[in-house]
Amino acid sequence: MHLDVAVAKTRKYATPESGDTIEMIERPGGGLSFVVVDGQRSGKSAKAVSNIVARKAVALLAEGIRDGAAARAAHDYLYTQRAGKVSATLNIVSVDLESRTLVLSRNNHCPAIVSLNGKIEIFDEPSQPVGVQRGTKPVIHELPLAPGTTVVIFTDGLTGAGERKGQPLNVPELVRELIGRQLTAEALAQTLLNEALTADDQRPADDISILVLAVSALNRSDDTRWLKVSMPL
Amino acid sequence: MHLDVAVAKTRKYATPESGDTIEMIERPGGGLSFVVVDGQRSGKSAKAVSNIVARKAVALLAEGIRDGAAARAAHDYLYTQRAGKVSATLNIVSVDLESRTLVLSRNNHCPAIVSLNGKIEIFDEPSQPVGVQRGTKPVIHELPLAPGTTVVIFTDGLTGAGERKGQPLNVPELVRELIGRQLTAEALAQTLLNEALTADDQRPADDISILVLAVSALNRSDDTRWLKVSMPL
């Protein structure tokens, strides 16, 4: 099997900085975790909040702490630091090579979308953001690490794209259509982003982050892992 | 300006796991840091060591602690945990958007190679690995964040490739030649890795990690940051 992950992150038009933070960390038992955080509001204050939450979550995951506990701790930490007054959404997506599962942990009103061999499932159970309500827990789904699985996670800048014009993107519908085209993880993320930018006339009304994770049956001849980063300076 | 980073990591032939750990973390003041650690020996024990060192370094960098202090702390931590008996090499490469500099911190006998508009500099001052000698410090170079800059960092699996056959790779010479070809960061890393695999008859004698960072004058129309991961499962 082979894993491909693509993460795209762009910022609200005319703000100096995205309020979203995305971090990746290796799991000490094997595998990777991705943490996607959208801090309340936008710009510098949002970035400070999302940084606190992401940092706490990755520090714990790096020590081998399970995803549910890391999400709870990230909530408690933000809640304590900011006296329950500031919220953030938090998604943790883990490829756990110990349990051979995908673990999706969600503190976000945006759904997580999973496709298994073209069949789409929308995980949209009620879910609280972290930081504001005592005792907040994540909604967790654990799936077998199986070829043909695609996971799409995003912040609400994607679902909100086009709202200004009264034509918000229907993200689940769009993903359903794109999954049929058998795109790579990168092409899928790029297409979703392009649709959002078009809906917002190339001036995003909010920070947008998109994570696409694809597990394929591909067996490459070599064992090399790759990490690639591209960003404007 | 635009930043492209490519990291390739492969493991010693017939070992279950690479002893190298590479992590990336966002700097709270803006920018990114990459941490490349090669734990002593190979396999599971090496991985445990490199994980300890990388985890400590990224946790501190994520809190805004300067690179030199993070490297010293990672050393002290390993030295204390393992009573000075286990070593690891540690490279930290930072794109610091506060100071608009590239910071190269090196606790590794392998050189760091920097090209500025085709002119190559080899940073190969004597440098101690972390973990074994009390008070170990990194060798640090700070360079302006300028277009036309390429940084190549690697673990000793690259320089050691071909040694089994008495024909070790001359990595600085190879980089000098490849820089002339104006490759992308990814193509440069891929070519270096291919040369190493060829020198080792496709059976790497050691874990190999390569990080290539390129700053170009390119100005893309959009502000999107990309992170891509590819790994066999």
Please tell me the distance from the alpha carbon of residue B156 to that of residue B165, in angstroms, as a whole number. Answer: 16
Q: Which residues of chain A neighbour B224 with C-beta distances below 8 Å?
A: 8-10, 193, 232
Q: Which residues of chain B neighbour A231 with C-beta distances below 8 Å?
A: 2-3, 32, 225-226
CB contact under 8 A, A233 and B95: yes
Q: Which residue type occupies A80?
A: T
CB contact under 8 A, A223 and B1: no
pLDDT digits (tens), chain A, 233 positions: 999 999 999 999 988 888 999 999 999 999 999 999 999 988 899 999 999 999 999 999 999 999 999 999 999 999 999 999 999 999 999 999 999 999 999 999 999 999 999 999 999 999 999 999 999 999 999 999 999 999 999 999 999 999 999 999 999 999 999 999 999 999 999 999 999 999 999 999 999 999 999 999 988 777 899 999 999 99
Long-range pairs of A143-147 with CB within 8 A, sequence gap ≥ 24: A143/A101, A143/A102, A143/A104, A143/A114, A143/A116, A144/A100, A144/A101, A144/A102, A145/A1, A145/A95, A145/A96, A145/A97, A145/A100, A145/A101, A145/A102, A145/A215, A145/B233, A146/A116, A146/A215, A147/A1, A147/A215, A147/A216, A147/A217
Angle at A32 between CA A29 and CA A36, to 5 degrees: 135
CB contact under 8 A, A227 and B5: yes
Q: Whole-prediction pTM value?
A: 0.96
CB contact under 8 A, A222 and B197: yes
Q: Which residues of chain B neighbour A63 with C-beta distances below 8 Å?
A: 55
Residue A217: Cβ-neighbour burial (10 angstroms; 0-12, 13-18, 19+): exposed
Cα Rg of chain B (Å, integer) = 17
Facing A228 at nearest CB: one of B6, B22, B222: B6
How close, in Å, is residue A96 to chain B by CA atoms?
A: 10
Res. B196 pLDDT band, cuts 50 70 90 = very high
